[in-house]
Amino acid sequence: MGLHARITPDGSIRIDTASWITHRTGGDIPRLTSGLHQTRRDTERANGPRPPDIAHGLRGFWVGVTWTWYTNQFINLSAPDPVIVHAGTRLDADVWIVRAEGGEGGPLAVIGINDHDPLVYTDTTTDPWAWRDPGTVIISCPTGHHWTWHTGRELVTDTGKATTITAVFGTDLAAPFSPAPPCTTHHKGKFARSCTCEQTPWIRCPTCWRRCDVELPRP
């Protein structure tokens, strides 16, 4: 498995959310986060306590606070659609983002993870679409073969050619995943020692048959 993404035992991809954010920011800014949280306290004093986290009430509360804070700082929201929400994706947490053009320090992104209080980050992306992509990973083997895998069954080769999971990894519905060979050998009675793979499937390179890793691309 890669450092920032992994294959789960049920044959799906999970991306480390903190790493996904790190790839798109220059880190959080404590001074600005403190100002954002002060705006929350001011809002609660004026309007009552924030709502419980039901039906996205807490997220909606924080988005409203964020808009107020940006306005108070004379910071313009990024257009169009500055609010982005990722729920039930390959990320291992739910995430919401409110992007802004920023002041003298450059673009900003207020980011909330699950029900945690949000932080203010510097936004280092050059392509705004990077924030709308919660699922792309790189499949790569030790000998250098690699593909970019978006959600669904679309792939992009290392030469930039569009292709599909079926064309590269075969027609099996589980592709690109396959059972770990040591696990398969053990269950067939050909290998006495129990496998340590915890039945996590592999992705095997169709060119060299080496085990592949999945990793986050740099946006």
pTM reported for the whole predicted model: 0.86
Q: What is the pLDDT of residue 179?
A: 79
Q: What is the pLDDT of residue 50?
A: 65
Q: What is the pLDDT of residue 34?
A: 97
Smallest CA-to-CA distance from 83 within 94, 95, 99 is with: 99
Q: How big is the CA angle at 184 (ends 182 and 185), to the nearest 5 degrees? A: 65
Q: What is the pLDDT of residue 166?
A: 94
Q: What is the pLDDT of residue 187?
A: 47
Strand, helix or coil for residue 78: coil
Tens-level pLDDT at each residue, the chain (219 residues): 568 999 998 889 999 999 999 999 999 999 999 999 999 999 888 887 665 554 456 788 899 999 999 999 989 888 777 899 999 999 999 999 999 987 667 999 999 999 899 999 999 998 889 999 999 999 999 999 999 999 889 999 999 999 999 999 998 888 999 877 655 544 444 445 555 555 678 899 999 999 999 999 987
Smallest CA-to-CA distance from 1 within 152, 174, 183, 201 is with: 201
Q: What is the pLDDT of residue 193?
A: 55
What are the CA-CA distances from residue 210 to residues 26, 55, 169, 194 (Å)?
Answer: 35, 45, 13, 21
Q: What is the pLDDT of residue 104?
A: 66
